[in-house]
Amino acid sequence: NAGVTQTPKFQVLKTGQSMTLQCAQDMNHEYMSWYRQDPGMGLRLIHYSVGAGITDQGEVPNGYNVSRSTTEDFPLRLLSAAPSQTSVYFCASSLSRTPGNTIYFGEGSWLTVV
Amino acid sequence: DAKTTQPPSMDCAEGRAANLPCNHSTISGNEYVYWYRQIHSQGPQYIIHGLKNNETNEMASLIITEDRKSSTLILPHATLRDTAVYYCIVRVAINFGNEKLTFGTGTRLTIIP
């Protein structure tokens, strides 16, 4: 059981480039989400999904797109990378949308935009 | 949204119980308290959660006050591997069951040999 898998682990981008952070879970979880973590600011929600075909914005969605074509995968796309998007990104999933279910996190993706 | 307040840092001697407090005075009746920890450069790791009653698992105990406005995470016999940032989180349900986690800045717990 792999849990939540994120790729790549590390990435350096030039300003204006686009890229996709991949996230996959093998636990048949309905709920998936993306967070970014910056020094002194805790984790902030970027986008989330409550099931295949359904996505919504979190706290800091600007500059990011998501899609959920399958239950397993929830990629995060940076459309035109900016230095302000330098951060650590975490993907998370849980069995369902109801409180009381454990949320599992991936190991993180370190992104640097130069 | 219910917010949480935690001390920024704490020290605890190895082998002693580590007691990490959290204030969530605006918590609603159907909101759970969750605790996660994050060891440097790793993803957040689930520890424990509770609604009203005290909870215990193989990692920790969670004590929730009767008015639910605060809680304490207890690591009964702290080891050096428990050095991490600990997050107290209130799970907020919004919009027909959709939810988000509100993470604060957590408590940096250092276990001292």
Interface of A with B (CB under 8 A): 4, 31, 33, 35, 40-45, 48, 50, 56, 58-59, 90, 92, 97-100, 102-108
Q: Please give the Cα distance from B90 to B88 (Å, whole number).
A: 7
Q: How far is CA B98 from the centre of its chain?
A: 22
Which residue of A lies nearest to B86 if distances are taken between CA atoms?
Answer: A42
| pLDDT band at residue B22 using 50, 70 and 90 as cut-offs | very high
Using a CB-CB distance cutoff of 8 angstroms, which residues of chain A are in contact with residue B97? Answer: 50, 97-98
Q: Please give the Cα distance from B39 to A64 (Å, whole number).
A: 27
Residues A62-99 have pLDDT tens digits of 999 999 999 999 999 999 999 999 999 999 998 876 66
CA-nearest of B97, B36, B78, B2 to A50 is: B97
Q: Do A41 and B105 touch (CB under 8 A)?
A: yes
**Greater model confidence, B30 or B45:** B45
pLDDT of res. A109:
96
pLDDT of res. B99:
55
Mean pLDDT of A10-35: 95
pLDDT of res. B97:
41
